[in-house]
Amino acid sequence: MITGACHCGAVSYQFDHTPSKTTSCNCSVCRRLGALWIYAKIPKITINGATDSYAWGDKSLAFHRCKVCGCTTHWENLQPEGPDSYMAVNLRLADPAVVATIPVRHFDGADSWTFLD
């Protein structure tokens, strides 16, 4: 299990999955957030605390942040397709020792929509 929390501790997550990678995306939102995303099916992730959300474009994803300190915590799929739907949490909110153990893949969300490695 991987756990993470925002800077002030008001929002935390439990990630009940073992990720094989974390994703660094260069789309217009992710490059500004600086997040490293780890993904799992929705039932494998628990979010605790109050967040604000932001959805843009086709409104298929909502990016969440702590209402107190503003750290980006996760994104949720606004058009989930049942129990097989995925969401992601920001691995940068986990302990740095945990972050260091998970390989980073770079995703071109700005142009080709493919992994760059």
pTM over 0.75: yes
- For residue 56 the two structure tokens come to 């843009």
Task: List the chain domain ranges.
Answer: 2-107
**Total Cβ atoms within 10 A of residue 56:** 11
For residue 27, pLDDT over 80 is answered with yes
Across 42-71, average pLDDT = 95
Question: Across all residues in the chain, what is the average pLDDT?
Answer: 95
Confidence band for 57, pLDDT divided at 50, 70 and 90: confident
Q: Which CATH class is domain 2-107?
A: mainly beta
Query: Is residue 105's pLDDT more than 80?
Result: yes
**In the predicted model, is pLDDT for residue 59 greater than 80?**
yes
Sequence-separated (6 or more) residues with CB below 8 Å from residue 49: 6, 10, 11, 12, 66
The percent of residues above 90 in pLDDT, for the chain, comes to: 87
pLDDT mean over 105-116:
96
Nearest to 89 by CA among 80, 77, 81: 77
44 CB burial (10 A radius; 0-12, 13-18, 19+): middle
